[in-house]
Structure 1
Amino acid sequence: MNTTCTVCGHDLWHTEQGHQACGACIRRLDRMLQDLAGPHGLYAQLATVLQPGTLADNARVSGSRTAPLPIRLEPLSLSSRGGVVTILQTWLVDIHDHLGYRHPRWQGGLQGQLDQAVSRLRILLPWAAENHPAIAELFAEVRQAVGQCRAQDLRRTPRQTRHRRLHPLRRHHAHHPRHPRTTLPVRNPVRVGRTPAAQPR
Structure 2
Amino acid sequence: MRTSDCDVVVVGVGGQGVILISEIIGKAAMMAGLSVRGVETHGMAQRGGSVINHIRVGCRYSAMISPGGADILLAMEPAEALRYASYLSPDGVALVNTRPLLPVTVTTGQASYPSLEEILAPLREVSSRVYPMDATGLAAEAGSPQAANVVMLGALARHLPIGEERLLEALSEIVPARFLEVNRKAFELGKIEVE
Question: Is TM (by shorter chain) over 0.5?
Answer: no
Task: Determine which structure has greater relative contact order: mean sequence separation of CA pairs < 8 Å that are 6+ residues apart, divided by chain length.
Answer: 1
Q: TM-score, normalised by structure 1?
A: 0.23
Higher strand share: 2
Higher helix share: 1
Q: Which has the larger Rg?
A: 1
